[in-house]
């Protein structure tokens, strides 16, 4: 279900990154291409989220919807250095990660519509995006529940002597859960190739991070499990990319986990049912000045790596992709009720 255009691009960029070409490329064409690609990826996510919001208010999308606006640089920066074979395990605010991993926008949108053509066949919805083809393992809406899975995927890869790694994304709230601590310990103890990416957006629903954790220095927590790591500005896509590359290089060469804290901010409410009593509008406004897309595109223009026309092209392409995905979802069919009890067991006979 991968989007072939994006995927080819990602692959090319990945190849550059691996061969180290990108570094020397400097102001060259390749570099500009990568920068445009990063920007385009973030814009695709932002437009998808805006559309999702709109479709929710029109009751086309139902259930819980958690939007990623503001955090795009994290998913895009990290995903850029991962291989297709690497596993990504995310949580319920995962449209961005899915899209960046290569899951097609069509199948994401169709999933939110609950259609059979959705990436989870309409069984999952916004919080449960899955895609085997791109090794996207969800999509878990139980906070921290995906972390042990990442440890296990990494364990399997290590046992099979594969070079793949498992990358899990989770929020600052997940850090309070036992599964976070158990997973960090196991990954370190067993020297497993896991990239732990904590998206610290300062809130878990309405709970401010500093009221939730006695120790707010997450690197200290990581260090207590002898997991190395780094803190990075999660609003800066190239900073995230560099940090992720360092992390991935370390994981692949040392076969050990790495902890990456990305300091970021969610621009929208936690979900569609959140009156946002816990934070000041001025705080949101302040953070929006550091909008990862705005900052990055301005920077590229300053550096002469992007012009208005190119930006407009990127925008219109994203817009078109979003519109197409809506059309696709609208036209897709509902699953017949007759097959309701499917997917409980691999063998359908065993459904009782």
Partner 1 sequence: MPEREIAEQKMSYRQAVREAMREAMNRDDRVYLMGEDVGLYGGCFNVSEGMLEEFGKERIIDTPLSESGFTGCGIGAALGGMRPIVEIMTVNFSLLASDQIINTAAILLHMSGGQFNVPIVIRMATGGGKQLAAQHSRSLEGWYSHIPGLKILTPATVEDARGMLWPALEDPDPVLIFENTTLYNFEEAAPVNGTQVDITSAKVRREGSHVSIITYGIGLHKSLKAAEMLSADGIEAEVIDLRVLRPLDNQTIFESVRKTHRAVIVDEGWKSVGLSAELSARITENLFYELDCPVERVCAAEVPAPYAGHLEKASLPQPENIVETVRQLGGIYG
Ligand X SMILES: Cc1ncc(C[n+]2csc(CCOP(=O)(O)OP(=O)(O)O)c2C)c(N)n1
Q: Where does this chain bind partner 1 (CB under 8 A)? A: 87, 118-124, 128, 130-132, 137-140, 142, 145, 147-157, 159-160, 166, 178-179, 182-183, 185-186, 189-190, 342-347, 350-352
Angle at 97 between CA 225 and CA 37, to 5 degrees: 115
Output 86 or 94, the one with its CB closest to ligand X: 94
- Kindly state whether residue 205 participates in binding ligand X, applying the rule CB under 6 A: yes
C-beta of 169 vs 328, nearer to ligand X = 169
Residue 198 binds ligand X, judged by CB under 6 A: no
Of 104, 201, 263, 264, the one binding Mg ion (CB under 5 A) is 201
Is the Cβ of residue 96 or residue 171 nearer to Mg ion in the bound state? 171
* Residue showing the smallest CB distance to Mg ion in the complex: 171
Among 34, 100, 174, 326, which residue sits at the site for ligand X (rule: CB under 6 A)?
174
Identify which of 205, 271, 268 has the alpha carbon closest to the alpha carbon of residue 66.
Answer: 271
150 contact choice in ligand X, partner 1, Mg ion, none (CB below 5 to 8 Å, kind-dependent):
partner 1
Beta strands in 148-235 (DSSP E): 166-171, 194-200, 203-204, 207-208, 228-233
Per CB under 6 A, 95 contacts ligand X: no
CB of 340 to partner 1, least distance (A): 11
In the complex with Mg ion, the residue whose CB is nearer, 73 or 186, is 73
Q: Which is nearer to partner 1, 113 or 137 (CB)?
A: 137
Of the pair 131, 179, the CB lying nearest ligand X is at 179
Nearest CB to partner 1, comparing residues 136 and 265: 136
Phi and psi dihedrals of 207, rounded to 5? Answer: -90, 115
Rounded alpha-carbon distances, angstroms, from residue 47 to 51, 68, 93, 325? 6, 11, 15, 11
Question: Is residue 94 close enough to count as binding Mg ion by CB under 5 A?
Answer: no
Region at 10 (left for phi over 0; alpha for psi -120 to 50; beta for the rest): alpha
In the complex, least distance from residue 208 CB atom to Mg ion, rounded to whole angstroms: 10
Smaller CB separation from partner 1, 78 or 151: 151
SS3 232: strand
Least spacing, CB of residue 179 vs ligand X, in Å: 9
User: Could you say whether residue 77 binds Mg ion (CB under 5 A)?
Assistant: no
Tokens of 319: 């817009």
Work out the burial of residue 301: count CB atoms within 10 Å of its CB; fewer than 13 is exposed, 13-18 middle, 19 or more buried: middle
With H, G, I as helix, E, B as strand and everything else as coil, classify residue 205: coil
Least distance to partner 1 from the beta carbon of 6, Å?
Answer: 20
Under the binding rule (CB under 5 A), the answer on residue 172 touching Mg ion is yes
CA distances from 206 to 94, 164, 203 (A): 19, 36, 6
- The token duo for 230 is 């780094």
Quickly count: other Cβ atoms within 10 Å of residue 225's Cβ.
20
What is the C-alpha separation between 261 and 171, in angstroms, rounded?
Answer: 10
If contact means CB under 5 to 8 A according to the sort of partner, which of Mg ion, partner 1, ligand X, none does residue 163 touch?
none
**In this structure, are residues 124 and 130 in contact, taking their beta carbons and an 8 Å threshold?**
yes
Contact call for residue 204 and ligand X (CB under 6 A): yes
Cβ of 91: how many Cβ atoms within 10 Å?
A: 25
**141 lies in the site for ligand X, by CB under 6 A:** yes
Interface positions with Mg ion (CB under 5 A): 171-172, 201, 204
Interface positions with ligand X (CB under 6 A): 93, 141-143, 171-174, 201, 203-205, 266, 270
């Amino acid at each position: 279900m991968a989007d072939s255009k994006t995927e080819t691009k990602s692959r090319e960029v990945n190849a550059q990154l691996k061969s180290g070409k990108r570094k020397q490329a400097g102001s060259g064409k390749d570099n500009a291409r990568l920068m445009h690609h990063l920007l385009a990826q973030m814009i695709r996510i932002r437009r998808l989220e805006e559309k999702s919001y709109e479709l929710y208010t029109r009751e086309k999308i139902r259930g819980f919807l958690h939007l990623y606006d503001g955090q795009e640089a994290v998913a895009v920066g990290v995903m850029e250095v991962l291989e297709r074979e690497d596993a990504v395990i995310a949580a319920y605010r995962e449209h961005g990660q899915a899209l960046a991993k290569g899951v097609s926008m069509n199948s994401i949108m169709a999933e939110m519509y609950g259609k059979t053509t959705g990436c989870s066949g309409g069984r999952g919805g916004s919080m449960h995006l899955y895609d085997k083809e791109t090794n996207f393992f969800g999509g878990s809406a139980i906070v921290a529940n995906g972390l042990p899975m990442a440890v296990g995927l990494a364990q399997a890869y290590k046992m099979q002597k594969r070079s793949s790694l498992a990358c899990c994304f989770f929020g600052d709230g997940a850090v309070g859960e036992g599964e976070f601590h158990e997973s960090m310990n196991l990954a370190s103890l067993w020297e497993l190739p896991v990239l732990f990416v904590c998206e610290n957006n300062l809130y878990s629903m309405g709970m401010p991070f500093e009221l939730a954790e006695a120790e707010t220095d997450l690197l200290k927590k990581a260090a207590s499990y002898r997991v190395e790591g780094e803190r990075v500005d999660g609003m800066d896509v190239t900073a995230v990319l560099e940090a992720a590359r360092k992390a991935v290089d370390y994981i692949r060469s040392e076969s050990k986990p790495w902890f990456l804290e990305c300091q970021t901010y969610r621009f929208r409410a936690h979900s569609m049912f959140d009156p946002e009593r816990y934070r000041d509008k001025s705080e949101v406004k302040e953070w929006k000045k550091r909008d990862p897309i705005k900052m990055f595109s301005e920077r590229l223009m300053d550096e002469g790596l992007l012009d208005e026309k190119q930006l407009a092209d990127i925008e219109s392409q994203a817009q078109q992709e979003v519109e197409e995905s809506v059309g696709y979802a609208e036209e897709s069919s509902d699953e017949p009720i007759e097959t309701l009890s499917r997917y409980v067991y691999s063998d359908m006979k065993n459904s009782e």
